[in-house]
C-alpha cells in the first residue's frame, strides 16, 4: 500500500488526508501538540471542523521523524511562516527520494521566498521533487464531496504527474502546471485581495466594489508575477482567477472574514486573538509590500491593505484615495 505523511493537521491537511485514506492509501498525520494527537486518535473527528470524521485506519502521531521516514510522499500542510523551522529542525529525516508536496499559500516574510523556494533553501537546494498543490478549494466543501479542481505545479514534471494522479477522484480533478512560481504567487496574493473584499463587506459596499477590487487586484498580481518571472497565463487559471474568486466570495474564507471584521471597525490585534485558524493574507501583505518595492511595481490595492493592517490606516480613507488616484488606461 502506498503511504502518505501529512505534516500539519489543520482543516485543509485534514480534508486531504481523509480523501486519500478513503481512496485506499495509508495516511499518517503529524501534529506537534500531543493533546491534539490524542484527541484525533480517540475521537477520529477534527478539532476545528467537527464534521470532518477520519476513517479508522488514519494514523496520528507527534513523532515527526518516524512520520517522515515512513512515507515517500510528504505533504506539508503547515502555516507558510512555520515551514522553514519545521524542515530545518528535521532535515536529517528527509532524503532525495521524498516527493514533497506543498499545500500552503504564502510568501516568507523578509526572505520573500515562495514556499517551494523555502523548502529547497532549507534542504540546501538539493531537493528537486517539490510539488505545489493549489487552486480554489475550501476544506469544508472537499469534506462534503463537492466537485473541486486543483493544479499540481512543479519544475519536476514527473513528480507533478505522480501527485496529479494521487489527488484525483470522482469529485477532485487535478491539472498539471509547469509554472510553480506563478501558481504560488497567485495562491498567496489572492489572500490580500480577499482581505480587501472582506473590508468592502464590512463597510457595507456592494457587488460593484468587490468586482472592481477583484479585477484590479488580479491586474496587480499579474503585474508583480510577470516581473518575477511567472507566466501571465497562469494567473488566468485555477491558481489565479479561480482561487481569487472563491477566496473573495466564500463564507468559508478566513481572509475575507478577517477583512469584514476590519471593515466593521474591529482592530487587527483583537481579531487575530480570537481566530482559531491563521489568515495567511496578513503575512503576505507584508511580503508583497517588500516585493513591490524591490521590483518597482505599482500595486495600490495591495499597498492600501498593507497600510490598513500595519499602519492602522482607516479603510474608508484608503478607498477614497484609491478611487481618486490619477486616471489611467485600464490595461496599464
Cα 150 vs. chain centroid, distance in angstroms? 12
CA distance 196 to 232: 23
Name the residue among 280, 263, 298 with its Cα closest to residue 108: 280
Is 190 a residue of the active site?
A: yes
Cα 12 vs. chain centroid, distance in angstroms? 9
For residues 291 and 230, the answer to whether their CB atoms sit within 8 Å is no
For residues 141 and 248, the answer to whether their CB atoms sit within 8 Å is no
The active-site residue, picked from 190, 231, 266, 316, is 190
CA distance 245 to 217: 11
Indicate the length of the chain as a whole number: 332
Query: Grid coordinates standing for 121?
Result: 533553501
Name the residue among 63, 67, 74, 76 with its Cα closest to residue 96: 74
Catalytic machinery residues? 190
Amino acid at each position: 500500500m502506498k503511504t502518505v505523511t501529512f505534516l500539519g493537521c489543520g482543516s485543509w491537511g485534514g480534508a486531504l488526508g481523509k480523501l486519500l485514506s478513503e481512496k485506499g492509501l495509508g495516511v499518517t498525520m503529524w501534529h506537534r501538540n500531543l493533546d491534539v494527537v490524542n484527541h484525533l486518535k480517540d475521537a477520529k473527528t477534527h478539532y476545528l471542523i467537527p464534521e470532518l470524521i477520519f476513517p479508522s485506519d488514519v494514523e496520528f502521531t507527534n513523532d515527526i521523524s518516524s512520520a517522515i521516514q515512513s512515507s515517500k510522499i510528504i505533504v506539508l500542510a503547515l502555516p507558510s511562516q512555520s515551514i522553514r523551522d519545521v524542515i530545518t529542525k528535521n532535515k536529517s529525516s528527509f532524503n532525495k527520494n521524498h516527493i514533497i508536496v506543498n499545500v500552503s499559500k504564502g510568501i516568507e516574510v523578509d526572505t520573500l521566498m515562495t514556499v517551494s523556494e523555502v523548502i529547497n533553501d532549507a534542504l540546501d537546494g538539493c531537493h528537486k521533487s517539490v510539488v505545489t498543490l493549489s487552486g480554489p478549494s475550501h476544506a469544508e466543501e472537499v469534506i462534503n464531496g463537492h466537485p473541486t479542481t486543483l493544479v499540481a505545479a512543479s519544475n519536476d514534471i514527473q513528480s507533478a504527474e505522480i501527485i496529479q494522479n494521487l489527488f484525483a477522484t470522482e469529485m477532485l480533478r487535478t491539472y498539471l502546471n509547469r509554472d510553480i512560481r506563478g501558481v504560488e504567487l497567485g495562491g498567496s496574493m489572492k489572500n490580500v485581495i480577499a482581505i480587501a473584499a472582506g473590508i468592502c463587506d464590512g463597510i457595507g459596499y456592494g457587488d460593484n466594489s468587490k468586482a472592481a477590487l477583484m479585477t484590479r487586484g488580479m491586474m496587480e498580481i499579474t503585474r508583480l508575477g510577470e516581473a518575477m518571472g511567472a507566466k501571465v497565463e497562469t494567473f488566468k487559471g485555477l491558481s489565479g482567477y479561480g482561487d481569487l474568486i472563491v477566496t473573495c466570495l466564500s463564507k468559508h474564507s478566513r481572509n475575507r472574514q478577517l477583512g469584514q471584521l476590519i471593515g466593521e471597525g474591529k482592530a487587527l490585534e483583537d481579531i487575530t486573538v480570537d481566530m482559531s485558524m491563521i489568515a495567511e493574507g496578513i503575512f503576505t501583505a507584508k511580503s508583497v509590500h517588500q516585493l513591490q518595492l524591490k521590483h518597482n511595481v505599482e500595486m495600490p490595492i495591495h499597498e492600501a491593505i498593507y497600510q490598513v493592517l500595519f499602519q492602522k490606516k482607516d479603510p474608508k480613507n484608503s478607498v477614497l484615495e484609491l478611487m481618486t488616484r490619477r486616471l489611467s488606461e485600464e490595461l496599464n
